[in-house]
Structure 1
Amino acid sequence: MNRKTQAALLALALFFSASPARPQSVKLKVGYPTTVGSMGVVWVTKEAALFEKHGLNVEMIYIAGSSKIVQAMLAKEIPIAEIAIPAVIQANMAGADLVMLAGPNHKPGQKLMVKPEIKSRTDLRGKKLGVTRFGTSDDFLLRYILNQWGIQPDREVALVQMGGSQEILAGLSSGGIDGGVLSSPLNLRALKLGFQMLVDLSAIGVDYQGAGVVTTRSYVREHPDVVRRYLKAYVEGLHRFKTDRDFSLKVLAKYSRIGERDMLEETYNHYAVKVMPRAPYPTMKGIRLVLDEIGARSPKAREIAPDSLVDLSYLKEIDSSGFIKALYER
């Protein structure tokens, strides 16, 4: 081997040894509590292989109801989940250390679907209304609107835990409940089955912090690199959700098990077009709304500051680097 060949081989060896190593793949379980469009970002991130791009081997786990997800998180079975702020508040009031890292759902997407014979809010008294589980977004928002109408939940109206959104629709169909809280695309299926919308909670004019990235503060401390990678994948998934309609519709169809194009289009338009911002910062105003409403029943909630429920340091780091801006300038 002559000197030129030796020099070339040495140069190649130095080049590859100096090249940055690809991040080691980390296995990660991620929970989601419902099969409606508010889960669109995490579904698209998974299906577009963006978690893998950032060195994460993510297993998506469906557990109906955010309160059940919280139980799994506190048992350290699931480190990260896509859940809304009411579940975070309730858990932390009981001593948990949950924290929201990103939250693109700034408006409620739920609708109160009822039997045709229920014509107005006054007809709700004495009826049974379904929610997924107590402590979830569905439960919070239903209680909120009933209180706004001067109707006492659990006294004048029975609230029934159904388990999941699909079970609410099944309960309506079987006559087991008189109404229930559903989001698109399932509320559209209910319309086609002959039920009617009594109120569209997205149109009541309030900010509300729905589903977002939630973990524990202890997990953030122990796994900062995983958190950083997860959020980079997530904001890239949000970009894909907002800019690739056809791909996103296919993903929504897969996870919601809804095949009708009109239902999927309306779901996509609500979440990807109308509600979700490019940078998924949670809404502090929406968190305050939830704290005030819970505080009417549990005064301890009034002592909680909205910013104590979030950690935006990683999202701000990603945003300030120009990563999010660059995605939309492609």
Structure 2
Amino acid sequence: MKRKSFLASCLLLMSVAWSATGFAQEKLEKIIVGVAGISGPLAHAFIPKDSGLYEKYGLDVDLVFFQGGSQLIQATIAGGVNFAVTAGPEIINGRLGGSDLTIIGGYMNTLPYSIVAAKDVTKFEQLKGGKAAISKYGTTSDLAMRYALERNGLAPNKDVAIIQLGDQTTRFAGLTGGSVQATVISPPFDITARKLGFNILADMADLGLPYQHETVATTERLIKERPETVRKFMRAFIAGIHLWMTDEKRTKAILGKRLKITDQEILDETYGAYKKLTERKPYPTLKGIEFQLQDVAKRNPKAKGMKPEEFINISILKELDQSGFIDNLYKK
């Protein structure tokens, strides 16, 4: 009799434990986060995933990686993606196209690029009469190259020809092959270039250009209909930034695995470069968005007269900040 009673008690405890576990799993809200590629500037999307922070804040996140921001924007507008981690210009163009996309956080507010030149070019003035590679006209790499040249007294497409070559792997191949004399690349490619003897003419972050390089975005519709979902996501994302800032070992382990970096020096440089560029409190840069709108207006008249505030909704970010959530992370 006692044995039966003992077995019944064990079964009851197991049932309760199973129910509690099932309930905890049911409490996790399923969302889809789209990322415009796998790279250092976009790593902030998978840091919370690989460290368990999304789950900690009540989310079951599927990360979907896209080949660039255009397809990601289309998926977000269609409702197939709940949150997009992508470059600021993508959100601006999507909004100008009539969507309700909005920036809810800006975690990288300047350009992470370096201007890398041929081995025999040590000064910008030596580029005169040469060629500089970008991805495509109107992209961030195009803007970065033009800005750097103008800051150093050179007229794009007059003093230096701007050549469209595609992604940075292709651009770097053009530089090493001698078809161009300079290009725009981001970590860790700049480290590789330096190791091979190429010259870093400028670090764009040091030029002081406000620029909404990387953002977290969603739709106004989702903010209105599911504000608690946005709160959960932003808590987890901000906690991921905190992890990057305070736990070097853990962050490097995630970066090394995701970005397939085996060279310790390159891993160290990649971690340090993006730590330097990341905002602890991810408020968008209004000056940076204004700069981008001015650039977009050269090709799209709809951008003329529009204000940066029309492209952001930071109500939940402000709420979290004012509640002490961000400051308290760094007090622990």
Q: Residue type matched to 1:25 in 2? A: E
**For 2:92, which of 89, 108, 115 is the aligned residue?**
89
- Superposition pairs of residues 223-242 of structure 1, within 5 angstroms: 223-242=226-245
> 1:126-137 counterparts in 2 under 5 A?
126-131=130-135, 133-137=136-140
The answer as to 2:182 corresponding to 1:151 is no
1:325 matched residue in structure 2: 327
Residue type matched to 2:155 in 1?
A: I
Residue of 24, 41, 60 corresponding to 2:63: 60
Distance 1:158 1:75 in 2: 35
Correspondence for 1:288 among 287, 290, 310? 290
Residue 70 of structure 1: how far off its partner (Å): 2.4
> How much does 1:125 deviate?
4.0
User: Which secondary structure state, in structure 2, belongs to the residue aligned with residue 104 of structure 1?
Assistant: strand
- Unaligned 5+ segments in structure 2 are 1-15
8 Å CA contact 1:23–1:54 kept in 2: the answer is: no
What's the TM-score, normalizing by structure 2?
0.81
- Structure 1, unaligned stretches of length 5 or more? 1-12
Contact 1:209 1:282 in 2 (8 A): yes
Equivalenced residues, count: 311
Shift, 1:166, TM fit: 3.8
Deviates most, 79-88 or 216-225: 216-225
1:190 equivalent among 186, 189, 193? 193
Q: Is the 8 A contact 2:119 2:199 kept in 1?
A: yes
Counterpart secondary structure, 2:253 = helix
> Deviation per CA, 1:131-161, whole angstroms, max 9, x where unpaired?
2x55543233223334444423599523315
Q: Share of identical aligned residues, percent?
A: 30
8 A Cα contact 1:134 1:161, kept in partner: no
The Cα shift of 1:89 comes to 1.8
* Residues in 2 aligned to 1:152 and 1:68: alpha-carbon distance in whole angstroms: 30
* Partner in structure 1 of residue 44 of structure 2: 41
- Indicate yes or no: 2:36 matched with 1:32: yes
Deviates more, 1:74-83 or 1:243-252: 74-83
What is the distance in 2 between the residues matched to 1:215 and 1:76?
Answer: 10
Cα gap change, 1:171 to 1:259, in 2 (>3 Å): farther
**In 2 relative to 1, CA 227–74 (structure 1 residues): closer, same or farther, beyond 3 Å?**
same
Taking the aligned partners of 2:178 and 2:259, their CA distance within structure 1 comes to 23
* Alpha-carbon distance between aligned partners in 1 of 2:117 and 2:68, rounded to the nearest angstrom: 21
Residue 201 of structure 1: how far off its partner (Å): 0.9
Q: How does 1:124-273 map to 2 (within 5 A)?
A: 125-131=129-135, 133-148=136-151, 149-153=153-157, 157-162=161-166, 164-174=167-177, 177-272=180-275
Pick closer, same or farther for the CA change 1:63–1:168 going to 2, 3 Å: farther
- Partners of 1:268 and 1:233 in 2: how far apart? 20
The alpha-carbon deviation at position 55 of structure 1 amounts to 2.6
Q: Could you say which residue in structure 2 is the equivalent of 1:309?
A: 311
Please provide the CA RMSD for this pair: 2.9
Q: Which amino acid in 2 is paired with 1:127?
A: K
Alignment partner of 1:71 is 2:71: no
CA, structure 1 residues 62+261, in 2 after alignment: closer, same or farther (shift >3 Å)? same
Question: How far has the Cα of 1:75 moved from its partner?
Answer: 4.2
Q: How far apart are the structure 2 equivalents of 1:206 and 1:39?
A: 20
